[in-house]
Amino acid sequence: MDTSPHWSVVRELVEEHALDRSIVAITVFGSLASGTERPDSDVDIEFFSSTASEWSIEEYPHSGLVVDAETTPLAFFEHKIEQYPFLCYAHFRSIPVFDPSGYFNRKHGAIGRYFGERPDVVAFWEERYQVMRREKAQGIKNPQGGVEAYDEAERRFSAQGRVTRDFWRSV
């Protein structure tokens, strides 16, 4: 990890949450994971929990930056990998910063195999990410991402060809 303010926040959050035995892994994603963060970028961090009952996201200030903290139950994550792997691209691009048991690395291997076999899905998400980065740089919050991108991915890449998931219907 480098010494930027963003990574300093990550280090503090890891130190704080690593003490919680229910936290199995912690990853960073988004611009921080890809190395494209700007001074005004948020810190996207995900906590994989063995006790959380549902996925949640919380946005809060920390050391002059905005943190977008997701809490992901393990069962939800595993269900998503099995049933909706095409929605796991952010996980594919994530960087584990706390993974003492290797849980995330094992799941990341399965996700990596899927995307290795599906360049069409990779191209879809890379195109969406490029647009999102451009729009975020213009100050647009949740640009062409969010629910619309997940719906489109599900229609294009699922066996059903339609939206069937009951999660991330609104964020």
List, for residues 98-117, the tens digit of each pLDDT value.
Answer: 999 999 999 999 999 999 99
What per-residue confidence (pLDDT) applies to 129? 85
| Local confidence band at 9 (pLDDT 50, 70, 90 cut-offs) | very high
Strand 23-29 versus strand 65-73 pairing type: unpaired
> Structural domain boundaries of the chain?
5-157
Note whether 6 and 65 are within 8 A (CB). Answer: yes
Burial of 30 (0-12, 13-18, 19+ CB in 10 A): buried
- 0.85 exceeded by the pTM? yes
E strands, 112-155, in order: none
List, for residues 19-55, the tens digit of each pLDDT value.
Answer: 999 999 999 998 899 998 889 889 999 999 999 999 9
What per-residue confidence (pLDDT) applies to 148? 85
List, for residues 63-80, the tens digit of each pLDDT value.
Answer: 999 999 999 999 999 999
Percent of the chain with pLDDT over 90: 74
* Topology (CATH level 3) of domain 5-157: Beta Polymerase; domain 2 (3.30.460)
List, for residues 117-168, the tens digit of each pLDDT value.
Answer: 999 999 999 998 888 777 777 777 665 566 788 999 999 999 999 999 988 7
Q: Distance of CA 110 to CAs 40, 58, 90, 102, Å?
A: 33, 27, 14, 13
